[in-house]
Structure 1
Amino acid sequence: MTPFRHALVTGGGSGVGRAIALALANEGIDVTICGRREAQLEAVAAESGRIHGLAADVTDEASMQALYAKAEAARGPFDIVVANAGMAGSAPAHKVSLADWQKTLEVNLTGAFLSVQPALAGMAAWKSGRIIFVASTAGLKGYAYVAPYVAAKHGVVGLMRALAAENARTGVTVNAVCPGFVETDMLDESVQRIVEKTGRSVEETRAALAATSPQNRFIQPDEVAAAVLWLCSDAARSITGQAISVSGGETW
């Protein structure tokens, strides 16, 4: 691995964020995880002495600045930032309320920006660092009934490309990992919404979602974590501005 010492993983209390935090910690990197559910953060932190949980709201600028100040004072500057926090809803576009639209963009897009912005100047000055966005195949293609989420994740991919262009000469790489449907609590919530709206069984719904992948299966959190780990390695030092699809061939 690289000589990086301190990583931030937002949304680190479960699912993909938990898997990423554990993978980085297993490489000897101190990891600060954040989220709004302290009990979840504490449970993940208990799995590794290198993981430290701090409650924070990625949509609140002051909250993220406070997190940076506290975590960096304790363990040094972040040289890896993984913007993973996100949320999704489901409704036909003509039924999406303005409030739901704004909340989805606020968490997935504005939250991603606020998660990485405080690290940019320092990383550029040190000429070293990794910025990684956990986006989605929804940032690479369209899906019906999740217009706000698709718009937000396309925005995340655009943000990534803009930051990669800005930092191309600094030694800081900026990339996005774009998973398909991942076996997480968020997937379970999506399945339940579909079941309630369509009357399909859980088994039928899961089978239909898995079939979106040519491999006919769900991505596992550790597969996403492995892609993040590679992007943090020295072997990936020339990889920047890329939206890497982890989707079993659904997108490329």
Structure 2
Amino acid sequence: MTGQRHALVTGGGSGVGAAVARALAEAGHAVTICGRRADALDAVAASHAAIHGLVADVTDEASVAALYETAEAARGPFDIVVANAGAAHSAPAHRTGLDDWRRMLDVNLTGAFLTVRPALPGMARRRHGRIVLVASTAGLKGYPYVAAYVAAKHGVVGLARALAAEFATRGLTVNAVCPGFVETELLASSVARIVETTGRSAEEARASLMASNPQGRFVQPAEVADAVLWLAGDGAASITGQAISVSGGETW
């Protein structure tokens, strides 16, 4: 997969998605990012000429289809797909409503499936392609108070492994990247919820989350982006069906 490729990054308007988009663009690829907030996408696109933003909702099949049609008509078929869009919700399991359960599966798992499915036939026909699903350490272990999120992210890891097995002889690699707590807007929201529900200070809340990382720190978005960039490159041609933990040794 030498030379410029066309990459899709969902949830590309902030956090890990924005970092991944910039890393791919700096590596010489054309990058299409999508999300639901045009202003956030525009801000990331303004940071590099190779990045273009399109509004899309990964939970909506028609929206994803329109995204593919528009982006591929303008810049060619996707050679790299990074399914990064996601959301988190915390509550005790017995207080997790069915709507919250479905929302976590829709955004994190069904959204990943809808994101990668349109790319599969073309990648298989061209006999090359890289798919990276951004999961979480929650796809490798359990955490309390986030049962729906954990279930969804375990599903994302399973999806990566199933697709890897299905397309191993057809030139595709499919892997999951599983970050621990990453210093992003999503982490800030988690800290705010802990403060609101427990009365602890923001510093105490951050320390409680940071304690899960044996390195005693939060993962940085650029570190996750580096892992994605490697998996998207030629040197990772034999890496497929893997769940790569980016967590300071929290899990493996």
- Shorter-chain TM-score bucket reads over 0.9
Per the alignment, residue 232 of structure 1 pairs with 232
Deviation at 1:102, TM superposition (A): 0.3
Q: 2:234 & 2:100 partners in 1: Cα distance?
A: 40
Shift of residue 111, structure 1, vs aligned partner: 0.2
The sequence identity of aligned pairs, in percent, is 73
CA contact (8 A) 1:181 1:218 kept: yes
Show structure 1 runs of 4+ deviating over 4 A. Answer: none
Per the TM alignment, residue 233 of structure 1 is displaced from its structure 2 partner at its CA by 1.3
TM-score by length of 2: 0.99
What pairs with 1:52-201 in structure 2 (closer than 5 Å)?
52-201=52-201
- CA deviation profile, 1:159-191 (whole Å, cap 9, x unmatched): 000000001001110000000000000000000
The CA deviation string for residues 60-84 of structure 1, in whole angstroms up to 9 with x for no partner, is 0000000000000000000000000
Match of 1:27 in 2: 27
1:2 positional shift: 3.1
Unaligned runs of 5+ in 2: none
Q: Residue in 1 aligned with 2:247?
A: 247
1: distance between equivalents of 2:239 and 2:167?
12
- Asked whether the equivalents of residues 2 and 232 of structure 1 are also in contact (C-alpha less than 8 Å), the reply is no
The letter for the 1-side match of 2:195 is V
Provide the rounded CA distance (Å) in 1 between the counterparts of 2:3 and 2:216.
38
| Partner amino acid, structure 1, of 2:151 | A
C-alpha contact 2:183 2:218 (8 A) present in aligned 1:
yes
Q: How many residues align?
A: 252
- What is the identity, as a one-letter code, of the residue corresponding to 1:16? V
1:6 aligns with 6
Residues 4 and 80 in structure 1, CA contact (< 8 A), matched pair in contact too:
no
Deviation at 1:93, TM superposition (A): 0.2
Give the secondary-structure state (helix, strand or coil) at the position aligned to 2:68.
helix
Query: What is the RMSD of the two structures over their aligned residues, measured on CA atoms?
Result: 0.7
Query: Partners of 1:232 and 1:36 in 2: how far apart?
Result: 25
Q: Distance in 2 between matches of 1:168 and 1:3?
A: 22
- Matches of 2:160 and 2:35 in 1, distance apart? 22
Give me the TM-score of the superposition, normalised by structure 1.
Answer: 0.99
- Report the alpha carbon displacement of residue 3 of structure 1 after superposing the two structures with TM: 3.0
Kept in 1: contact 2:4–2:28 (CA 8 A): no
Distance of 1:166 and 1:193 partners within structure 2: 40
